[in-house]
Amino acid sequence: MTKPQTHENRGISARLLDQPYLLLILAPLFWGGNVVAAKLVVGEIDPFLLLAARCVGATLFILPFAWPYLKADWPVIRRTWPQLMAFGFVGYALFNVLLYLGLSTTSGVNAAIVQASLPMLILLANFVVFRARAKVLQIVGVIIAISGVMLTATHGNLGRILTLDINVGDGFVILACLAYTAYTLALRFRPDVHMMSFMAVAFSGAAISGVIMLQLFGDGVGQFATIPSMSATVWIVLIYVMIFPSMFSQVAYARAVDLVGPNRAAPSHNLIPVFGAIGSVLILGERLELYHYLAAAIIIGGIVLAEWAARRRR
């Protein structure tokens, strides 16, 4: 009698979670889609309402899945909940509201390309804050990549930096990247809880922050009552940002890291601006200008140089 194939009785989701490289494509695909989705509803929904609805919806969506882990981790959560919620404020709420505000006055392509600077900003911040060892060529790569970001923010005319003539929207996206850099650096101090527990509590912090920002800087929490009458496009975008970049990307990336390790998984973040730019062209109908190609080449060159320097033998 032959041995039964164990995978035959496994569900599709279980088999999917065993495919690390597929997960490392899906995670940045959904994150890159966040830019396209938010740009799609500019003018239809207030950025602060979009953020608050996303964070509240994501929290409600994840809680049933996270409940067993929350109970197991409760002793740690009870001691560290302010810290866990702060992660949600900076990494989810602040990052996304700055991104959504930026998309009100800049293109999806620009926002996607600016986000390509994240790996370099994180490398630079680690060097500055934690004195992480970095080779000269890595620092050169960072400078090159950031110059590509500034080329994007000045729409191909670096001379505008001297007069501080930078598109406001691009400025907000740069601030969003700085917020996410701070969040990433702070993750080394993350309390020792399961990933699902971390996400649930952090999302709760993001939801509370989003509602407060809506009340203080938006049109007030009463705007939640206007959502049912909004267009089908807004509803599709809300459902997408609540579920896919909020939960599925996080789970997919965390699982991929478990399977292949953080060093092999980290470069997949470079796919986020690629998917964001492609989606902006295909779905939003935006045009790629010459400076976009030049900036993308400069940023990619900086990333490749920094990565090559990091892998060189001493």
Question: pLDDT tens digits, residue range 109-155?
Answer: 888 888 877 877 887 787 778 776 767 777 787 778 778 777 776 76
Q: What is the pTM (predicted TM-score) of this model?
A: 0.85
pLDDT at 299 over 80: no
Written as one letter, the residue type at 129 is: V
**Cα Rg, the chain, nearest whole Å:** 20
Is residue 306 within 8 Å of residue 145, measured between CB atoms? yes
Which of 263 and 180 is assigned the larger pLDDT? 180
pLDDT of residue 163: 56
pLDDT of residue 158: 67
Separation between Cα atoms, residue 133 and residue 310, nearest integer Å: 10
The domain locations on the chain are 28-311
